[in-house]
Amino acid sequence: MNNQSHNQIVSFIWSIADDCLRDVYVRGKYRDVILPMMVIRRLDAVLEDTKDEVLQMKETLDKQGIANQNAALCNTAKQSFCNCSPFKLKDLTSRSTQQKLKADFITYLDGFSPNVQEILEKFKFRNQIDTMIDADILGAVIEKFVSPTINLTPFPVLNDVGEVKLPALDNHTMGTVFEELIRRFNEENNEEAGEHFTPRDVVELMADLIFTPIANQITDNTYSIYDGASGTGGMLTVSQDRLLSLAAKKNKQVSMHLFGQEINPETYAITKADMLLKGEGTEADNIAYGSTLAADGFPGKDFDFMLSNPPYGKSWKTDADKMGGKKGILDTRFAIPFADDAKFSMLPRVSDGQLLFLLNNVSKMKETTELGSRIVEVHNGSSLFTGDAGGGESNARRYMIERDLVEAIIALPNNMFYNTGIGTFIWILSNKKNKKRQGKIQLIDATNLKQPLRKNLGNKNCEFTPEIRQQILGMYLNMTENKYSKIFDNDEFGYWKITVQQPKFDSHGKPITDKKGNLVPDKELTDTEQIPFKYENGIKAFFKKEILPFAPDAWIDTNKTQIGYELSFTKYFYKPVQLRPLAEIVADLKALEQETKGLLNEIINND
């Protein structure tokens, strides 16, 4: 589905809200009706063709006194869900009274199978029925959603000669429609837009990056894909399609299991609905509800491929409190024996938990398989450099880099996402690096590789075309250096942070010592220095060359030396503004001077 069709659906749905809900709900609450109704209509449309057979089967089962009917009815519906009420949604557009409509609509909702009931419960949709009945708008809302001018199904609508009249609404596009509507609803109420939904072009690039490098290693096997911040499930869907496509090109037979976790009840419900619509009832059970950080839905489980766009710049204090308070967290995903520290803590500041999602994925990497595990994850810039040496963020980077897990990091253009214009970066990790990548990290600056959109989608004003995606993928696969791509040894990003002290002197100018004869440091003269791992001959050489000539009495407090890691794209890709030649500037000034004289003479002569 193209952007034009996407925008048409968004506009149509928004018009439903404006036409039917405007005098009943504030705009920020439109979502409470519109989002679940979109899912209901989508499910309903899929079930229309088999409705009569389902009702016949129910009648047979009732006569036989069979109580547990769900499996048989879903099988008859040829889906992993069903509705055994006597109604289709379009049957409810005309009812004699509001109370009759209410009763029949509740009967219709009650007819859905248990897996759909959970979705409706997460939307809290039944809470809206009385409000819509009292305002006499339920019938109008239903009529709008079953309109033949809109297609909310995953199947194209054809005209009389078999041509596509209305394109299919695939799962990922449905997710983008939801995201755009949620953004509009929240803007109307001046609310935060929440997590940043991942645009299709970025997801496509992420799928390229995670699967293409190992395409030749795909075997007839079962693979698992996991997203710990699954949102509406679009990343899982695209990843599944990409792996299946690559396998088919290699004549391999693969099966897949999708796993995800989502904390937002609405987006969780959408993901479950998408899984059901794809006929993957079992896969729908693999989507966990709740916080990935405080309530990991898959403890002890590992996965082949992991893709995520976790929330960034979002506090995880609530999660920290649930886990026993930041100081008491012993979760082995985030605190683990490493670097001679039995409790090597990688906990970031509570104001931003995005690195915890990456560490969660790292903890779920397979160690014993030939492929190991691959991770592709989107972050903002703070994951690259925030945090001091020895702090949680720096320790997280140290853990991943010293274990040689980081293959590459790609800087994306600004304004690539619907709800934020800030800079973002794709991290690529693997615990089975190929030989040429071992001990190295590739940085790719793709900030200028973009195509403008004709019309903005929220903050998103540019996109990756297939050609641009291929250009980025090519640089990554070839692992060659050019103006966009640079390759470094792992220790390029490490440094020692040393504490330099100088003695405190009395009024006589003599250094003060303590009872043990040790020099007492002057706190006002205490300083810290960062020494790159790459500095020739290390700390001692730096101290001798850079400090002693200026402070001959100084010494290093070795007990306070810390190791830190940070990555700076600016350092490696900064392009200084080219200054104009002096002669050119002088010529412009002279020309301006002559022009000024001419104007002044003209003014004087006119007087």
- The model's pLDDT over 292-313, given as tens digits with 9 standing for 90+, comes to 999 999 999 999 999 999 998 8
Find the DSSP H helices in 17-113. 31-47, 51-63, 70-77, 98-110
For tokens 């679940």, what's the residue? Answer: 36
* Model confidence pLDDT, tens digit, residues 347-383: 999 999 999 999 999 999 999 999 999 999 999 999 9
pTM for the model: 0.83
Q: Give the mean pLDDT of 391-404.
A: 97
Is the pLDDT confidence value at 563 over 80? yes
Please give the C-alpha separations between residue 94 and each of 33, 97, 266, in angstroms, as whole numbers. Answer: 19, 9, 29
CA atoms within 13 A on the CB side of 340: 2
Q: What is the pLDDT of residue 191?
A: 47
Task: Give CA–CA dist 302/364, Å, rounded.
Answer: 4
Under 8 Å between Cβ of 376 and 428: yes
> Among 216-225, 399-408, 447-456, 538-547, which stretch is predicted with the lowest mean pLDDT?
447-456
Q: What is the pLDDT of residue 535?
A: 96
Q: What is the pLDDT of residue 173?
A: 77
Tell me the pairing of strands 451-457 and 494-501.
Answer: unpaired
Q: Give the mean pLDDT of 594-602.
A: 73
Of all residues in the chain, the percent with pLDDT exceeding 90 is: 66
Task: Give CA–CA dist 559/507, Å, rounded.
Answer: 29
Element (H, E) at 134: helix 129-134
Query: Would you state the structure tokens that stand for residue 117, as one six-digit string?
Result: 């009931």
Q: What is the pLDDT of residue 396?
A: 98
Is the pLDDT confidence value at 183 over 70? no
Is the pLDDT confidence value at 190 over 70? no
Is the pLDDT confidence value at 193 over 50? no
Going by pLDDT thresholds of 50, 70 and 90, the confidence category of residue 112 is very high
> Among 160-174, 245-259, 420-434, which stretch is predicted with the lowest mean pLDDT?
160-174
Element (H, E) at 385: helix 382-385
Query: Would you state the structure tokens that stand for residue 321, as one six-digit string?
Result: 């409190």
CA atoms within 13 A on the CB side of 50: 18
Q: What is the pLDDT of residue 463?
A: 92
Going by pLDDT thresholds of 50, 70 and 90, the confidence category of residue 194 is very low
Q: Give the mean pLDDT of 453-475.
A: 91
Q: What is the pLDDT of residue 186?
A: 64
Q: Give the mean pLDDT of 226-245.
A: 90
Of all residues in the chain, the percent with pLDDT exceeding 70 is: 95
Is the pLDDT confidence value at 426 over 60? yes
* Model confidence pLDDT, tens digit, residues 76-85: 999 889 999 9
513 DSSP assignment = B
Q: For the chain, what percentages of helix, strand and coil (3-state, to nearest 5) are there? A: 45, 20, 35
Q: What is the pLDDT of residue 192?
A: 46
Q: What is the pLDDT of residue 575?
A: 73
Specify which of 112-121, 158-167, 182-191, 510-519 reaches the highest per-range mean pLDDT.
Answer: 112-121
Is the pLDDT confidence value at 126 over 80? yes
Is the pLDDT confidence value at 419 over 80? no
Q: What is the pLDDT of residue 187?
A: 62
For tokens 């009706």, what's the residue? Answer: 33
Going by pLDDT thresholds of 50, 70 and 90, the confidence category of residue 180 is confident
Mean pLDDT of the chain, nearest integer:
90
Find the DSSP H helices in 234-337. 234-249, 265-277, 281-284, 317-322
Query: Would you state the structure tokens that stand for residue 30, as one six-digit string?
Result: 């439109």
Q: What is the pLDDT of residue 152?
A: 85
Task: Give CA–CA dist 410/5, Å, rounded.
Answer: 31
Under 8 Å between Cβ of 226 and 310: no
Residue 367: how many CB atoms within 10 A of its CB?
A: 9
* Model confidence pLDDT, tens digit, residues 377-390: 999 999 999 999 99
